Amino acid sequence: MNRRDLLILSTGAGAWALAARAQQKYARVVGFLSGASPDSYAPFIAAFRSGLRETGYVEGTNLTIEYRWAEDHPDWLPALAADLVGRKVEAILAGGGAPGVAKAATATMPIVFVTGADPVAAGMVTSLNRPGGNLTGVSFLTGELLPKRLEILHDLLPGVTTVAVLVNPKYSG
């Protein structure tokens, strides 16, 4: 092999190696923990993926999501949360009754929660404007907003005197 062939080979191999390295993207790994089932969360997962795509994260390309579903078995949540912590995901998105369990599983890994409960009253954060610790998220404050919803219902339907409300007292949000 002469110098010219060696130079062409090494330059070609170097270029190939650089191209291969450029094509490899660092995949972020996040955990998704829920007490519900995948079927019940399907529209939310679709919206979640869409929002991620808008910010440049595409599942299977530069993002891996480790899903853990308790399938309406809250007693499964601690083991599922421990599994995500053991896998050292970069952050955990917790919903469906899982935020408190995720908080108990790690004090250092970032946890983003979605809940209907008051996160301060539930002990997830110290305050809404300064959550502190490793949790932050969104609360719909469903219990706190119930009186206002009834007031709006009464304004819309003033003749209605009886309203039924279905609740699950075991659901912590």
What is the residue extent of each domain of the chain? Answer: 24-144
CA end-to-end distance (rounded Å), the chain? 71
pLDDT of residue 96: 83
Bridging pattern class, strands 92-95 and 135-139? unpaired
- CATH number (3.40.50.2300, 3.40.50.970, 3.50.40.10, 3.40.50.300) of 24-144 reads 3.40.50.2300
pTM attached to this predicted model = 0.71
What percent of the chain has pLDDT above 90? 51
Reading the block at residue 113, the tokens are 């929660």
Tracing tokens 């610790």 back to the chain, one arrives at 133
Please tell me whether residue 46 adopts helix, strand or coil conformation. Answer: helix
Q: How confident is the model at residue 148 (pLDDT cuts 50, 70, 90)?
A: confident
Sequence length of the chain is 173
Does residue 146 have a pLDDT over 70?
Answer: yes
Q: How many CB atoms within 10 Å of residue 3?
A: 7
Reading the block at residue 45, the tokens are 């997962």
Across the range 113-141, mean pLDDT stands at: 87
Dist CA 31 CA 93 (whole Å) = 6
Least reliable range by pLDDT among 20-29, 58-67, 110-119: 20-29
Does residue 6 have a pLDDT over 60?
Answer: no
Per the CB < 8 A criterion, the answer to whether 45 and 108 are in contact is no
What percent of the chain has pLDDT above 70? 83
Bridging pattern class, strands 92-95 and 111-115? parallel
Of 3-7, 11-15, 90-94, 137-141, the range with the highest mean pLDDT is 90-94
Across the range 83-95, mean pLDDT stands at: 96
